[in-house]
Structure 1
Amino acid sequence: MANINPTEASKSFFRIDLRCLILCLCLFFVFLALANSLHAAYKVQHGLLLRHSFDTNRAYAEKLAHATNSFFESSAQALQAAALDITETRLDPAAIQNEFDQLASITDAFDAIIAVDISGKIIAAKPRSAFLNAFLEAPQARELLNAKEATAISGAFKGPGDRWMSIVAHPVFSSDGGYAGFVGGTVLLQSGSALQSALTKLHYQEGAYFYIVDAERRIVYHPTQGLIGSRSEDMESAPAVPPGGRGTQYMSGVESDGQLISYAPIPFADWGVVAQRPVKLALSNIDELFWRTFYYSLPIFIISLLAIGWLSRLIANPLRQLADVAANLDNRANFSRIRFIKGWYLEAAMIREGLMQSFSAIGNRMRKLHREGTTDPLTGVVNRRGLETAIEELMETARNVAVVMIDVDHFKAVNDKFGHAVGDQVLKAITVLIMAEVRSEDVVARMGGDEFVALLPDTGLESARHFAERLRSTIEQTRFDIIGNVTISLGVACYPAHGDDLRGALARADAALYRAKAVGRNRVHLA
């Protein structure tokens, strides 16, 4: 039996176990993402189908209302013309009867045409046997006698033969202008009427239906004939909508999937159309859309599975590379090599990050030491060592550099009178004012004590003089805590105009500074 190295066995076990873990996690999240995508797609499609069905149902209700309103308006126009002719006949029954014969030949909208006097008696009718010499009994019909100025329509009521009907009426006036009654057309609300025939043609989809209610919420049209004449609130599936209202709503509990309800007004009659459509009808093809979405998702899903299988074989590669780097930290080539190692999972990424942080910490420490060696600890600007570095860089990059030497006037007196602590605060405040005036590419250094220098790359002598005057004026006008006001003296020079190199220009600016102090201080002197 061959001996097995425990170290190799543990490494092999770890590698297999980690790969299985990665595979399981990836497969889990791929399936989870697929399930979530399908669920989201199903919900979006469900919402879109419902919204489309709402819009379609609302448009259908509006179309029905418009068609019904047009039916009554055209009928009313025929009655209006007949009413004018009847007025000219001086309400002669025989002449009225002849007018009715002509009206019946023009329109088939009415099942009967009647003329009613102010007492409610029917004085002429077509056909005659239906209504002649009878009186209007139904309250809905007698209310038409009160509409003395415009065309009106009654609500649903039972007429002769216990048939539900409605009357469209137009007022009739005598030759002297007095109200004499009305001429009306009866519309049967059950089978056989022109209104029923027109509305029955507008049914557009199996399972969806509509009905019409009058101002008293009595049903004047319904595909189920037996419901005509009943009140809509007595129907189990009727929504609580006003007959003249307009809108759309969802009604649950009527059927297993609920109903989409849209309603629209019929302005002529103050009636309302209610269109109902089962939700299950609106969502009839959602299963087909769902499976089509799943079908289109399969290619990416299969590609993802193949990619996971391929990547799992490479999972150990980053660990091997990181382990090699960690084992050879003394090799400086690994500093750049580690940047190209990709961590395929958390552990590898954490190890890589830890190594990079270690290298970064070393680099930061070195940079910090360099920065501390080139920065003035009191003011935060560069010191003499940093100034030397800046001079070397500017000599290589800038065509001309302005040099402004700055010295605080009588600063020794400030230290002697108020102490060095106060003097240090003044130097800090002056540094802030100087930094506020310079640009980001300018260099400010503290030469020592109360003496500063500003290097202004790509700046001419005149621009440097303006800068120096502005800085001098700003400090002169600033009141410092405890000590009050101080002033500064400045010397300005420009490389290469005042020196073969930047250090020469620095010396010329220093000389100009001392001349400014010699002639009275608080002034700018040019080299």
Structure 2
Amino acid sequence: MFQMVLRKIVWISTIALPLFSMIKIPRFRRMFTLRRSVNLRSLILWLCLSFVFLVLFSSLHAAYRVQQGLLLEQSVRVNQAYAERLAHASDDFLRSSAAVLKSAALDITAGQLDVAVIREEFKQVMEVTKAFDALVLVDVSGSVLAASPGAVFRNVALPLWPELFQGKAVPEPMVASAFQGGEGRWMTMVATPVFAPDGAYAGFIGGGMYLQSRSALQESLDKLSYEEGTYFRIVDGSQTIIYHPEQSQIGTTAQDVATVTEQPQITGRQSLPEPDEINPDQELVSVAAIPAAGWLVIAQRPTERVFANTSELLLRTLLLALPVFALSLLAIWYLSGLIASPLRQLATAAANLDNHADFRRIRFVKGWYVEAALIRQGLMQSFSAIGSRIRKLYQQGATDPLTGTMNRRGLDAALEEMTDAEQSVAVVMIDVDHFKAVNDRFGHALGDEVLKAIAELIMTQARREDVVARLGGEEFVVVLPETGLEAAGQFAERLRRAVAQTVFETVGSVTVSLGVACYPEHGNDLYEALALADAALYRAKADGRNRVHQVE
């Protein structure tokens, strides 16, 4: 179940999402297009978290598969070792039992095959070892000469070994296949030949072992039983079951012996299959031979028990990885904010180009990585270029292109600033006398040169903080902040004399008329003072020109 969930998550993360993102239908593209509300930090967080979860689940899935493979490989080795240990223990049991019988056979031979000696020897063997449930001596004709007390061999087809009757040497213990003894109980027999004093074959002594109830063989094999669902069977050469955890199966024919011994991929004799290729109902099967008897030990273990602890191991792996995973999430959250912070500050400043305070804040943005530093530098250069351009455009928009003095727009801005400052301001209106005659006689080009020369004279006489503007045609105005009426009159007189004493090329002498007013003495605001200075100018013209007239 857990493996199925992991597979679905990994499949969705690695295949479904990329395919889904490549959908070309406009409706879906519009639906899943990133909105403007998604900020850089959220984007970094989602991307990093997606990849972190993808790597986590992929790692868990890989660990799950590796753990399954290791458990399968280890279980196969353990199962095979278990089968070999069972076979070795059974072989040792049979060989030690045969050795006891061989010693008894020597004593019987020395006793001239006397029945009393045989019975006494049987009694001693039964007292020395509990390996046998019954003892029997069979002659060369196959007849029972003697048996241990309580042994029932009447009408029992005892196993006979042809090689013994032929007098051949038998180096290995002789172990019979399963047969039914007295009272129909299944048993096996270990035998060793008995010889007459002259060395002729006289028969064999057999030690019968019951395969059911609590026989010595049964108890010996039960001690070797393995936990965790593993069980084993022992079958003889005729595929009759010699041992089985369920005693009712003993003596029956094992129909699957050929099948289980032909599964090399499960017994580990060849390369192991992938864990997901194994049927849950399939079992691990290991086979080992018992040389003394020619029997087979078949050890089997359900695969579901092999993988029973995989989920628990995976959960422990996840718990061990959680602290690192949590620290990774915190690091991603912190670093995403650290990366996005300078870009967010720069974006805010870029969105408010007209805010001079934002421009100043750009200098304090920490561009700790190259891209942010380059963007900050670019924005500062852009802001500087834009500011210079704006100042240049403002200056061009507020400057008279002919004389270089302020135009009406520049004058209005200067008057608004002075009004806000609430300071005394003198206003001097200037008009060139008979300028139309200059244009008519010498042409507009020379007339423009006269205006430029007069503008230079005005700016020469004015202070740095004074405002000089051309109102149109041959009319100028000078605004003198923090200046009283008397000082303004003196300035106007100096300017009048300077113009009158200047000889203009080709044109000769030119005079100007001037009107002077002062705020707040004259008018309720600067514009009203400007109008009063203009009225004083016209009175100066009416009085004969080339003079200064002050508002009284």
Query: Offset of 1:203 from its aligned partner?
Result: 1.6
Corresponding residue for residue 239 of structure 1: 260
Amino acid at match of 1:296: L
Q: Distance in 1 between matches of 2:163 and 2:254?
A: 22
Is 2:54 aligned against 1:32? yes
1:125 corresponds to which residue? 147
2:54 is the counterpart of 1:67: no
Aligned mate of 2:188, from 145, 166, 170:
166
Distance 1:178 1:343 in 2: 106
The Cα shift of 1:173 comes to 1.4
Q: CA deviation at 1:26?
A: 1.3
1:405: which partner in 2? none
Change (3 A) 1:254 1:85: farther
1:150-183 Cα distance to aligned partner (Å, 9 max, x none): 2311111122222111111101112222211111
Structure 1 residue 305: Cα displacement: 1.8
Query: Which residue identity lines up with residue 169 of structure 2 in the other structure?
Result: E
Q: 2:91, 2:291 within 8 Å by CA — same for their partners in 1?
A: yes
Distance in 2, matches of 1:241 and 1:82, equals 42
Deviations 1:263-315 (A, max 9, x none): 22212112121111222223332222111111111122222222222222344
Structure 2 length-normalised TM: 0.51
User: 1:55 — aligned with what?
Assistant: 77
Structure 1 residues 3-152: aligned runs within 5 Å: 16-127=38-149, 130-131=152-153, 134=154, 137=157, 145=165, 148-150=168-170, 151-152=173-174
Partner of 1:183: 205
Offset of residue 92 of structure 1: 2.2
Cα separation, 2, equivalents of 1:171 and 1:21: 90
Pairwise mapping of residues 174-213 of structure 1 onto structure 2 (< 5 A)? Answer: 174-213=196-235
Give the Cα–Cα distance (whole angstroms) in 1 for the partners of residues 268 and 240 of structure 2: 19
Q: 1:256 to 1:16 in 2, by over 3 A?
A: closer
The 5 Å alignment of 1:88-487 reads 88-127=110-149, 130-131=152-153, 134=154, 137=157, 145=165, 148-150=168-170, 151-234=173-256, 239-240=260-261, 256-316=280-340, 341-342=369-370
- Whether the 8 Å CA contact 2:239–2:257 is kept in 1: the answer is no
Question: Match of 2:261, as an amino acid?
Answer: A
Residue 58 of structure 1: CA displacement? 2.2
**What RMSD in Å do the two structures reach over aligned CA positions?**
3.7
Indicate if the aligned counterparts of 2:139 and 2:202 stay in contact, CA closer than 8 A.
Answer: yes
Q: Distance in 2 between matches of 1:147 and 1:19?
A: 96
Deviations 1:51-100 (A, max 9, x none): 23223222222221222111111111111011111112222223222221
CA distance in 2, matches of 1:276, 1:225: 17
Letter in 2 for 1:81: S
**Cα distance in 1, alignment partners of residues 298 and 166 from structure 2:** 29
Question: Alpha carbons of 1:141 and 1:177: their partners in 2 closer, same or farther (altered >3 Å)?
Answer: closer
Separation in structure 2 between the aligned mates of residue 119 and residue 207 of structure 1, nearest angstrom: 48
- Structure 1: runs of 5+ lacking an equivalent: 1-12, 325-338, 352-527
Is this contact kept in 2: 1:144–1:169, CA < 8 A? no
Distance 2:167 2:370 in 1: 89
Letter in 1 for 2:62: A
- The DSSP-based 3-state class of the residue aligned with 1:78 is helix
Paired residues of 1:239 and 1:261 also in contact (CA < 8 A): yes
The letter of the residue matching 1:137 is: A
> Using the alignment, how far apart are the partners of 2:268 and 2:243 within structure 1?
20
Judged with a 3 Å threshold, the aligned counterparts in structure 2 of structure 1 residues 144 and 340 are, in CA distance, closer, same or farther, namely farther
**Distance of 1:316 and 1:109 partners within structure 2:** 84
- Asked if the contact 1:80–1:170 (Cα under 8 Å) also holds between the matched residues in 2, the reply is yes
| CA shift in 2, pair 1:309/1:79, >3 Å | same
Distance in 2, Cα, partners of 1:223 & 1:22: 62
Change (3 A) 1:18 1:34: same
CA contact 1:116–1:182 (8 Å) conserved in 2:
yes
- Inter-CA distance 31–266: structure 2 relative to 1 (3 Å threshold): same
Contact 2:112–2:197 under 8 Å retained in 1: yes
State the shift of 1:115 in Å.
0.6
Over 3 Å counting, the alpha-carbon distance change for 1:234 and 1:317 in structure 2 is closer
The runs of 5 or more residues in structure 2 that have no matched partner are 1-34, 350-366, 379-552
Q: Deviation of residue 319 (structure 1)?
A: 6.8
Q: 1:147 to 1:228 in 2, by over 3 A?
A: farther
Cα separation, partners in 2 of 1:316 and 1:287, compared to 1, 3 Å:
closer
Q: Larger deviation: 25-34 or 314-323?
A: 314-323
Q: Does the CA-based 8 Å contact 1:247-1:263 persist in structure 2? A: no
The count of aligned residue pairs is 315
Aligned counterparts of 1:119 and 1:62: Cα–Cα separation in 2: 38
Q: Quote how far apart the aligned CAs of 1:127 are.
A: 2.1
**CA 1:129–1:260: 2 relative to 1, 3 Å:** closer
In structure 2, what is the Cα distance between the partners aligned to 1:128 and 1:26?
83
Q: Structure 1 residues 249-258 or 280-289, which shifts more?
A: 249-258
Measured at CA, do residues 80 and 225 of structure 1 come closer, stay the same or move farther in structure 2, by a change above 3 Å? same
Hey, what's the Cα distance between the residues in 2 that align with 1:186 and 1:127? 13
